[in-house]
Structure 1
Amino acid sequence: MPGDTRARRVPRGLVVALVLVTTLAAGVLTGCSRGTAPPPEPPPSLAELKARLPLYRFLYALTADDVRVSEARQRLIAACMDRHGFRYTPPPAPRTSDHATSYPAPFGLEPADLVPPAVPEEPRGEAYVRALYGDPDKRISATDRTLRVTRPATGCQADAEERLLSDGRVRWLTLRLRLDDGEKQSRGAIGQSVEFRAVGDRWQRCMRQAGFDDSDPVALQRDLPAEADARTGPRARADLRCKESTGYLTTAYTVLGAAQRAWLTEHPTVERDWTALRDRQIRAAHDALGAAAPR
């Protein structure tokens, strides 16, 4: 005789209630998880992208220590010129907020392109120039693969630099050339990047849809008319819109950062020596500012 199954049956109303409770609980949990999930991080700003580039930090970033070194150099020059009987007016003191506008733009036009205003120079006589820059026939020089630079070996400017760098002036010039060369080599290397080529293709397609047949943003900027309002024209606006919609600048600066880090890895003495000489200047600037009377 078959057993009585009525005791094992679950009432239909209870089943429906359990399903509803389960569904509601799942909805609550889902809602909680959605509510507590962190919002996506905003993309980095252009200034942040540039500040992450290792060679840009050496060549263009301006820290509080850099400002102190600049201030010490100008005070030392002014004191030296005063001893020669000349009043030296230093250029405007740099600010740490100025570095964002001093970064180069290797990928053509960028949002908020700013050009620092030119600072007019004071009239200078021959005696003034000689006191400041010394004997024109006496120079120090540094040479890299394709470039040679020189600086005064005598005069108030040279004296100030020697006070801060001691015997490291030529090495400092040489390292500056090496870093410039590393920046150029890194810029050339990113053409091998799959990501950079892909974003360049997307930029080209976007520009064609806007009615322009440019090969790349750098060539576009180079070919713009020289008029002051060229940057606000339709071609330039299309360039900036396409850069934003394709993520061109984010990709370009990310790839460039990787190329610069690779270059520094291949040239470890550059970063080591640059840091050592920079620290030497910071210490000397501290001493000079502590000893110099405010002007």
Structure 2
Amino acid sequence: MALPARLLAAVCLVSAAALTLSSCTGEGTAADDAGKEPAIGSIEKLSSTEGLEFPIAAYETTSDQQYQVKKAQNRLIDQCMKRFGFEYAPPAPQPPSRDDSKSRVFGLTSAEDAARFGYANPRRATDPAAAERQQLPPLSRTGQTVLNGVDLVAEAEAKKKGKTAAPADEPKSQAEAEKAPGSGIMVNGQEVPVGGCGRESALKLYAPKPGSVDILFVFNLGAQAESKALEDSRVREATAKWSQCMADSGFTTSSPDSVQSDLGLEQGGLSSPRAITIAKADVACKTRVNYIGTRYAVQSAYEKLLVEENAETLALFRQQTQDRLRLAAQLNG
């Protein structure tokens, strides 16, 4: 049985709600304040992203660490549901990726992969047991209420009538949840936590105390750096040169980020003979115009600025990540 959308969104809700002093980056980067692009010095010629180190990577978690935390959250959900008399095992998280590298951070860059697989990614993790995974029996309506903290059927009916109740003022941390008024929903003599067992599990892992850093903080910094880099004049120039190189090879596409959609490569045809031909041209053009070297130099410069500006918050984030991993290890046994 798939997790309800409300539960799947629990971590994101915590992330959006349990923000801290740290979720703002102040007045912007020094480059922004001066209206200038950051200096990058000489640009190294690169034909691959393998082995490249990015400033923000030091604060990211591995796919195995993410997997362990998701397993721990499932255990917390199970423990919570049992308090109310329900046997419920959330679907197992996807196994950790076999490849934590940045091999495709700027799109396809390996000439060998292009020639063998086109745009298909042979390193992408698959779960061979997914198709055979036993379907869980559906929860009763009351069980769904305990899991989600709301009667989903009643909520849907209210929405049809335009009478959706205002959302509860949900606590932003587990410490606040333990002191705040409950949901008012009683099941088997106990009050369901605000947001149900799904939200309780997320709070315990991602926001145990007030002042917990947004779990998406590092991700958002990386996305901000990438966005700035893509708008940087040096990257735009490299992209234009790559596009012209592709046109010279007979392919009209505006950017390596949109090459597959621009040229109509569907998911099932990423390793077709046509896809392989395009992929080989793509990689060759990236090397010819030093697209990878330019993207890396520019994006690293923006990441470095953001790391410097958010050093205090990132240190707190790192400590809280270690605390979360220790709790996950205890829960997973």
TM-score range, shorter chain: 0.5 to 0.7
1:183 aligns to 2:183 (yes or no):
no
CA deviation profile, 1:32-68 (whole Å, cap 9, x unmatched): xxxxxxxxxxx6853533xx23435545x41655444
Matching residue within 51, 56, 66 for 1:48: 51
Task: Give the residue type in structure 2 aligned to 1:129.
Answer: Q
TM-score, structure 1 as length reference: 0.60
Matching residue within 233, 237, 245 for 1:206: 245
Q: How does 1:138-153 map to 2 (within 5 A)?
A: 138=168, 140=170, 153=194
- Structure-2 separation of matches of 1:194 and 1:240: 22
Preserved CA contact (<8 Å) 1:81 1:88: no
Preserved CA contact (<8 Å) 1:86 1:128: no
Preserved CA contact (<8 Å) 2:243 2:253: yes
> What's the offset of the Cα at 1:289?
3.9
Q: Aligned pair in 2 of structure 1 residues 168, 240: CA closer, same or farther (>3 Å)? A: farther
- Structure-2 separation of matches of 1:107 and 1:55: 16
1:257 aligns to 2:300 (yes or no):
yes
Moved more, 270-279 or 250-259: 250-259
Aligned to 1:23: none
- Structure-2 separation of matches of 1:56 and 1:206: 31
Structure 1 residue matching 2:98: 3-state secondary structure? helix
Matching residue within 288, 294, 310 for 1:267: 310
Q: Which has the higher helix share?
A: 1
Preserved CA contact (<8 Å) 2:206 2:324: yes
Preserved CA contact (<8 Å) 1:175 1:270: no
1:81 aligns to 2:81 (yes or no):
yes
Matching residue within 323, 326, 330 for 1:280: 323
Preserved CA contact (<8 Å) 1:230 1:236: no
Q: Aligned pair in 2 of structure 1 residues 164, 182: CA closer, same or farther (>3 Å)? A: closer
Aligned to 1:217: 256
Preserved CA contact (<8 Å) 1:231 1:237: no
CA deviation profile, 1:2-54 (whole Å, cap 9, x unmatched): xxxxxxxxxxxxxxxxxxxxxxxxxxxxxxxxxxxxxxxxx6853533xx234
> What's the offset of the Cα at 1:88?
0.5
> What's the offset of the Cα at 1:116?
5.3
- Structure-2 separation of matches of 1:65 and 1:230: 30
Matching residue within 148, 168, 177 for 1:133: 148
Task: Give the residue type in structure 2 aligned to 1:274.
Answer: F
Aligned to 2:69: 69
Count residues with an aligned counterpart: 233
Task: Give the residue type in structure 2 aligned to 1:78.
Answer: D
TM-score, structure 2 as length reference: 0.54
Task: Give the residue type in structure 1 aligned to 2:78.
Answer: A
The CA RMSD over aligned residues, in Å, is 3.9
Preserved CA contact (<8 Å) 1:106 1:218: no
Q: Aligned pair in 2 of structure 1 residues 78, 252: CA closer, same or farther (>3 Å)? A: same
With CA pairs under 8 Å and 6+ residues apart, which has the higher RCO, 1 or 2? 2
Q: Aligned pair in 2 of structure 1 residues 108, 164: CA closer, same or farther (>3 Å)? A: closer
Unaligned segments of structure 1, at least 5 residues: 1-42, 143-151, 291-295
Structure 1 residue matching 2:199: 3-state secondary structure? helix
Preserved CA contact (<8 Å) 2:235 2:298: yes
Preserved CA contact (<8 Å) 2:47 2:287: no
Q: Which has the larger radius of gyration?
A: 1
Aligned to 1:242: 285
Q: Aligned pair in 2 of structure 1 residues 200, 139: CA closer, same or farther (>3 Å)? A: same
Task: Give the residue type in structure 2 aligned to 1:208.
Answer: A
